Every structure is written in structure tokens, then in C-alpha cells.
A and B are shown apart, each in its own frame.
Chain A
Amino acid sequence: MALYSEKVMDHFRNPRNVGVLEDANGVGTVGNAKCGDIMKMYLKIEDDIVKDVKFETFGCGSAIASSSMATELIKGKPVEEARQLTNKAVAEALDGLPDYKMHCSVLAQEAIEAALKDYESRQEEK
């Protein structure tokens, strides 16, 4: 049996929405290199819709796949929906993760939360 599902391997090998979003108005970074995982989410929000999203990840296969899947799940969605994204939904969309890799999906959820928080604080400053 393979370590990861086909879905995980697909998102790991061909990550969606990977890179930097130059005109992002919400950016969040979670994790630390000491633990071996860092995720950075870039959001471009307009009219309460996640118009665009990109990510950068330092981490294992499931960390990269979780970030990729999370971006797919929120792209084009209302901010409210993005806010409600759970790590469980990310893991399920990937056809599951090994138990000891579930924290990768948590990180993806937290990265989006952090980016949304950054967006909100930027809005308040305006």
C-alpha cells in the first residue's frame, strides 16, 4: 500500500495555485521550520469573494498537498465560506491522510485563517 492516496500524490506532484500573489490583500504564514512545516497563503479578496489564492509551502508531501487542496476549496468562494473551511474537509477532499499527517491539514486551515485575519486588519486600517 502506498503511503498516500492518489489524490494526495496528484496534488503533491501537480500543486494547484502554487507561487506568490503579488497583489494579495491578505497574507498568512503558519508553522515553523523547526517542526518541518511552513505554509504561506496569499489571498486576493474582492467584494467578499476570494478572487485568487496562491500558496508557498516548506514541508512534506502531505503538507504540500494539503495547501494545494485548501486553495482549490476556497478559490472563487465567499469569504464566509473560506472562513468555515475545516482541516477535516481538506483531509476528506484528499481521500484521507495518515493519522500522523493530519496536522498538515490543520496547518492548511490555520494558514487560511491567518491570511483572512491579515485581510481583516488591513480593512480596519483603511
Chain B
Amino acid sequence: MIYADNAATTAMSEAAINTMTSLIRDTYGNPSSLYEFGQKAKEVLEQAREDIAKTIGADPKEILFTSGGSEADNQAIISAAKLGEKNGKKHIISSKFEHHAVLHTLNKLAKEGFKITLLDVHENGIIKPEEVAAAIREDTALVTIMYANNEIGTIQDIKGIGAVCREKGVLFHTDAVQAIGHLHIDVNEENIDMLSASAHKFHGPKGVGFLYFKKGIRLTNLIEGGAQEKGKRAGTENVPGIAAMATALNDAVNNIDKNTEHLTKIRNKIIAGLKEIPHSALNGDENSRLPSNINFCFEGIEGESLLLLLDDKGIAASSGSACTSGSLDPSHVLLAIGRVHDVAHGSLRLSIGEDITDEEADYIIKSVKEVVEYLRGFSPVWRDLVAGKTQFIL
């Protein structure tokens, strides 16, 4: 199988598996226990915090461990909202194509009387810092913009957006779930106040992540019931998971340059290959995108059948089609960049892994071409397009 769905989740690295299994077996003590065996687990926990903090230029005290990216997003946004509310600030700025962990949390706040501005992401999936600046008001409590988009992989000018927020004295949070471990991140250099991360997107385990929160930001609890994480997140810490996350992140960050070079080369090759398919289009900016991300729309076909046939050919990928989500609407990300429903249903996301080979890239290109052509062969939509009864969009 060629696993090309690394934006969904990644395989755990051998090193992370080793860290995790040895801790599960040998260091099962509770970090809150005072005896030596518990304190050993506490040491592991704090070492992980230190290692993780170092990878993004943060202080260990600024790292809160969570169950993953969604929890970190929820806690960051809720915390900023509560802080703003105290000062009469009930306006939040975000973008139309955020992850649902952000959008749904904002919906919840809107019901509590917060005003939400969702910035347009344009056809290329990039938000300009000056657009953020223009949207900031007297009562803006938070700006939350994702670092890299999970579907189309576009990377934002986080440093620029952060600078705008800093200048106007507004808190800035970024959902960096798709970026961390894949792009160099320095929270201070990039003016980031809060950042969400999830271990399983960089070869760590599932169910563990963290929130970076700049010193001085008072967090609001989502989970009550204990003194763990300085009282900001109750529940016995997932020590093996957290330590494995640190192992995985260290390895990922140390290999960013090497991986980026290889992935970019393969990504560009696949993009060039798929562009040869008539009436197709790349989604999202071609240059400012994750080295692992390829996202296309193919006119006249539907994404789920494309995925099933690629699966038959041993390729695991993803689509923004409504049929893959169980809802009637296709991906909100594709709609946000201006793809109409008819076209958004025929999308394909390939998120390639660091171990992908040139031969595998060739095989992916060949397979996608075959499947698209096959499905178009009995698509009434394609027939009408070719016959000139309807107009091509792409």
C-alpha cells in the first residue's frame, strides 16, 4: 500500500514506539505520587515538556499537554474569549477554512454573544496580514488563523499576521497541527501567543497533543478535577504518549530540511503529472503549501468513487467530496477557495509521507489518470460537458 493520507494521520516512528512501549511497561507510576517510582514518571513528563518547548523556542512553563489538537484549539479559544470578555472585548477574527475544532468552538461562542469575523481566504487559500489588520476592532479579543491548512496545505504568513496582532495588542492563536514538525516554527520570532499541536501528525501517538501559551496568558479549564498541568487540565497525565510525542517531534524537527527537500521534489512531480489530466485544477497556492500536500479537483467525477478505486490499486488517499463525509455539502475548505459544489465533489487530497519514492510517485500519477478517465467514461456530467451541453468550469 502507498499511504498518501498523512494529513489524516501518520505512522508512528520506531523511536516513538520504543519510547512509548518501554514507558508503558516500566514507568507506569503516577507523576503525582510522591514516592520515587511516581517521581520517575514526573521526571519523564517534565523532560518531555522541556524537549517540546525547545523545538518551538518556548519555555517549558508555556506548554500544556492535551489530548490532541482539537482540545488545544478549544482551550486556546475559550481562554482568550474569557479573557477578552472581562475587558468587554467580545469580537474574534478567524478564517473561513479553519479546522472544525476552531469553527465549531467559535459557533458556540457566537451563541454566547461573541461577534465572529471569518476572513476570506481567496482563491489561493492565503490570507494577507493587512486583511487581518483591517478586521481588528477596539473590541477584538483574539485572532485565530491556522498555520497550514489540513486539506489544501496552504501556509499562512504567520509571522506577518502575528506582528499585526502584536502591534494592535490582540492575542494571536494558530492551529499548527499540520505545520509543526514539518515547518520550522519559532513562537517568539513569529509573534505567536498560542499554538495548537497534535502528536499523530508528526509520527507520534494518537490522543496526545499540546497547547503553547505565552507566559502571562491565563488559561480557562475545559476539564476540572485535579492539580495536573498546574491545575489547568485535570486528569492523570498520559506519560508514555507525551514522552513519545517529544521523541517524535524532536526527530521530525531535526529532519525538516532533509524531508522538505525530498517531499517538495516528489510533490512537484505529482502536481505536474496530475495537471496533465484535462479539466483538472490544483487547489491552493502552488508555492506556499506544505511539501507533502497535493489537492486537485477533477471535473465530471465524484471523489468517493475515485478513492475507492485508488484503494483497489493500493493507494490510500482522501477527498473533500460530500459522500466521504456523510453530509450533503462538500468540503468547506474547497467552497471557501471558491470551488463550486459540482467541482468540489470531485476532489482528491494526497498527503505524501517522507519515505515516498520516485517510482511510487509515478505509480500514483498513472493510477489517478486511469481512474479519472475510467469514471469519466460513464459520467453523464462528463458526457454533457464534452458534448458542449454544459460549460466546463475547470
Interface residues in chain A, defined as those with a beta carbon under 8 Å from any beta carbon in chain B: 9, 12-13, 15, 18-20, 29, 33-40, 55-61, 63-64, 100-101
Contact (A56, B323) CB under 8 Å given A33-B345, A36-B302:
no
Contact (A56, B379) CB under 8 Å given A36-B322, A36-B323, A61-B308:
yes
Name A61's contact: one of B305, B328, B379, B380 (CB within 8 Å): B305
Tell whether, in the assembled complex, residue B312 and residue A13 are in contact, meaning their CB atoms are under 8 Å apart.
Answer: yes
Please give me the residue from chain A that is nearest to B381 by CB atom.
A58
Contact (A57, B380) CB under 8 Å given A12-B305, A36-B302, A36-B345:
yes
Please give me the residue from chain B that is nearest to A13 by CB atom.
B312
**Measured between C-beta atoms, what is the minimum distance from B382 to chain A in Å?**
7
Is the C-beta of B326 less than 8 angstroms from some C-beta in chain A?
A: yes
Task: Give the interface SS of chain B, mostly helix, strand, loop or mixed.
Answer: helix
A18 surroundings in chain B (CB, below 8 A): 378
Is the C-beta of B330 less than 8 angstroms from some C-beta in chain A?
A: yes
Please give me the residue from chain A that is nearest to B299 by CB atom.
A33
Tell whether, in the assembled complex, residue B322 and residue A59 are in contact, meaning their CB atoms are under 8 Å apart.
Answer: no
The 8 A-B pairs of least Cβ separation, nearest first, read: A60-B323, A60-B304, A33-B342, A40-B380, A36-B345, A34-B341, A58-B381, A56-B380
Total of A-B residue pairs, C-beta within 8 Å: 69
**Measured between C-beta atoms, what is the minimum distance from B126 to chain A in Å?**
27
Please give me the residue from chain B that is nearest to A9 by CB atom.
B308
Is the C-beta of B300 less than 8 angstroms from some C-beta in chain A?
A: yes
A19 to B382, CA, bound (A): 12
Which residues of chain B from 327 to 370 have any CB-CB distance to chain A below 8 Å in the complex? 328, 330, 341-342, 345
Please give me the residue from chain A that is nearest to B308 by CB atom.
A61
Question: What are 27 inter-chain pairs, A to B, with CB distance below 8 A?
Answer: A12-B308, A13-B309, A13-B312, A15-B378, A20-B383, A35-B322, A35-B341, A36-B322, A36-B328, A36-B345, A37-B323, A38-B379, A38-B380, A38-B381, A39-B380, A40-B380, A57-B380, A58-B380, A58-B382, A59-B305, A59-B323, A60-B303, A60-B305, A61-B305, A61-B308, A64-B305, A101-B323
**Measured between C-beta atoms, what is the minimum distance from B148 to chain A in Å?**
27
Tell whether, in the assembled complex, residue A35 and residue B328 are in contact, meaning their CB atoms are under 8 Å apart.
Answer: yes
| Proximity string of chain B (210-233) to chain A, C-beta cutoff 8 Å, 1 when within and 0 when not | 000000000000000000000000
A40 to B389, CA, bound (A): 15
Tell whether, in the assembled complex, residue B381 and residue A100 are in contact, meaning their CB atoms are under 8 Å apart.
Answer: no
Tell whether, in the assembled complex, residue B308 and residue A29 are in contact, meaning their CB atoms are under 8 Å apart.
Answer: no
Is the C-beta of B318 less than 8 angstroms from some C-beta in chain A?
A: no
Tell whether, in the assembled complex, residue A58 and residue B300 are in contact, meaning their CB atoms are under 8 Å apart.
Answer: yes
Please give me the residue from chain B that is nearest to A34 by CB atom.
B341
A60 surroundings in chain B (CB, below 8 A): 302-305, 321, 323-324
Count class of interface residues, chain B: 20 to 34
Please give me the residue from chain A that is nearest to B324 by CB atom.
A60
**Measured between C-beta atoms, what is the minimum distance from B300 to chain A in Å?**
7
B326 surroundings in chain A (CB, below 8 A): 100
**Measured between C-beta atoms, what is the minimum distance from B353 to chain A in Å?**
23
B381 surroundings in chain A (CB, below 8 A): 33, 38, 58
Residue in B300, B308, B342 with the greatest tally of chain A CB atoms within 10 Å: B308
A56 surroundings in chain B (CB, below 8 A): 378-380, 383
Tell whether, in the assembled complex, residue A37 and residue B302 are in contact, meaning their CB atoms are under 8 Å apart.
Answer: yes
A29 to B384, CA, bound (A): 12
Name A57's contact: one of B322, B324, B341, B379 (CB within 8 Å): B379
A13 to B328, CA, bound (A): 24
Please give me the residue from chain B that is nearest to A39 by CB atom.
B380
A100 to B308, CA, bound (A): 17
**Measured between C-beta atoms, what is the minimum distance from B320 to chain A in Å?**
11
**Measured between C-beta atoms, what is the minimum distance from B259 to chain A in Å?**
32
A12 to B330, CA, bound (A): 21
B127 surroundings in chain A (CB, below 8 A): none
Is the C-beta of B17 less than 8 angstroms from some C-beta in chain A?
A: no
A10 to B175, CA, bound (A): 41
B330 surroundings in chain A (CB, below 8 A): 36
Contact (A58, B301) CB under 8 Å given A35-B328, A100-B326:
yes
A63 to B381, CA, bound (A): 14
A34 to B342, CA, bound (A): 5
A63 to B321, CA, bound (A): 14
Residue in B300, B302, B330 with the greatest tally of chain A CB atoms within 10 Å: B302
Which residues of chain B from 37 to 78 have any CB-CB distance to chain A below 8 Å in the complex? none
**Measured between C-beta atoms, what is the minimum distance from A7 to chain B in Å?**
14
Tell whether, in the assembled complex, residue A19 and residue B378 are in contact, meaning their CB atoms are under 8 Å apart.
Answer: yes
A58 to B308, CA, bound (A): 14
A15 to B301, CA, bound (A): 16
